[in-house]
Structure 1
Amino acid sequence: MKYRILVGKPDGKRPLGRPRHRWVDSIEMDLTEVGWDGMDWIDLAQDRDKWQALVNTVMNL
């Protein structure tokens, strides 16, 4: 016998209020402020020196 497992709310209602802000959204907003919005930031984070330079630039704004 197979059972279906329901995850979440079965009635399908959304939570009230604004959508939550994800940390990915924060990173993308910071990159647009600095002017690095066109690049893939995940690949940038793999290079420690470049990521450190980016973080220092954003922190000094």
Structure 2
Amino acid sequence: MVARVWKGMNGLDAYERYLAHHRHEHQRTPAPSRADFYRAKWEHESTSPTARCC
């Protein structure tokens, strides 16, 4: 329980949450790999200043 809350607060469960979303919303397309997901996430955060807290 504590580990799950910790991961959620720090964004460490982002890929798992994305996979749950992808299974529900995009059933016909393959999910990106963990590396591809984080690469796209970091690219988005570096080009969009509102995507991060600091």
Q: TM-score range by the shorter chain?
A: 0.3 to 0.5
Comparing both chains, which one has the higher relative contact order based on Cα–Cα distances under 8 Å and sequence gaps of 6 or more? Answer: 1
Give the structure with the larger helix fraction. 2
Q: Could you tell me the TM-score, scaled by structure 2's length?
A: 0.34
Q: Could you tell me the TM-score, scaled by structure 1's length?
A: 0.32
